[in-house]
Amino acid sequence: MRYYILLITIFFMFSCGNERVLHLPEVNHSEITDIKDVSHAYLFYDETKTDSVELNRKNLISTTNWLINVDKRLTLKQAIPHIKYLQDKKANSSHKNETAKNYFTCNDTSRKDLGFIEFTDVSFKNESLDNYSGVLSSFEDSGNSTAIAFEDDNEITIASALLNSVILETTKDSLSYYLKKCDTINGMILLNFNEALTFQNYIEYKSLISKTVLNHTEISNTEFIFN
């Protein structure tokens, strides 16, 4: 796989006339480590224009598994619109493969190799801060449902009637503990992410949640990106 990463750099060096470096988000463990029949898209971060993002999708084949390589320095505000565009492109393709999935590519530091996080069924919704506050309030009052908001200052807010309060300044180290406390029959967890979070932040939180064993609770496939 390290050879494969080198090939990515060489590919962009020769096809674009100059070397393009993409910093993958890092996780300390990934459950998915090998995917066959793939094609790639790349979201680049421009160090000279930090507000810009470049999408390269020239070699995507709709019937394959898609590996979306997103530079970890991009914010969700920059990356999500392009990711939604790719999702729509695949969903609306005239050539479909119902078994083909979508993955984010990561750097698995425990293996020093590539890892992958699936997001095939994830639907990204944009919310204003006012609407997001309403979502938290409604979830707090809805019995066995929980809303988690990930802020851009590393603060995590959990709203859940199961915890009898809104918990402020929860850390990622305590997140799994609270997820398990909210693990009830027919429970639902809704994830909310501040658009100012970097893609590294996003992948780190997603990886942490995926590693938490939940026996009864479902993680909603709808993720809200709030401003």
String of DSSP letters for 26-95: EES--SB----SEEEEEEEE-TT-TT-EEEE-TT--TTSEEEEEE-TTSBHHHHHHHHHHHHHHHHT-SS
* Structure-token match 């309060």, residue found: 165
Q: Considering the entire predicted model, what is its pTM?
A: 0.87
DSSP classification of residue 162: G
Report whether pLDDT(15) > 60: no
pLDDT the model gives residue 10: 34
Percent over 70 (pLDDT), the chain: 84
pLDDT the model gives residue 162: 77
pLDDT band at residue 139 using 50, 70 and 90 as cut-offs: low
Closest Cα partner for 224 from 138, 150, 144, 119? 150
Percent over 90 (pLDDT), the chain: 59
**How far is Cα 51 from Cα 13, in angstroms, rounded to an integer?**
23
Lowest-confidence region among 9-13, 111-115, 214-218, 222-226: 9-13
Closest Cα partner for 64 from 103, 105, 106, 97? 97
pLDDT band at residue 20 using 50, 70 and 90 as cut-offs: confident
**How far is Cα 27 from Cα 115, in angstroms, rounded to an integer?**
8
Q: Which amino acid is at 87?
A: Q
Q: Which amino acid is at 93?
A: S
Report whether pLDDT(100) > 60: yes
pLDDT band at residue 8 using 50, 70 and 90 as cut-offs: very low
pLDDT the model gives residue 136: 63
**For residue 84, what are the CA distances in angstroms to 4, 136, 147?**
26, 24, 22
Q: Mapping DSSP to helix (H, G, I), strand (E, B) and coil, where does residue 146 land?
A: strand
Structure tokens at 200: 């590294």
pLDDT the model gives residue 35: 96
Report whether pLDDT(2) > 80: no
pLDDT the model gives residue 191: 94
Do residues 131 and 48 lie in contact, with contact meaning Cβ atoms separated by under 8 Å? no
Higher pLDDT, 17 or 146: 146
Q: How many residues does the chain have?
A: 227
Report whether pLDDT(109) > 70: yes
Report whether pLDDT(133) > 80: no
Q: Which amino acid is at 109?
A: T
Closest Cα partner for 42 from 57, 24, 27, 28? 57
Structure tokens at 146: 């929980």
Q: Which amino acid is at 174?
A: S
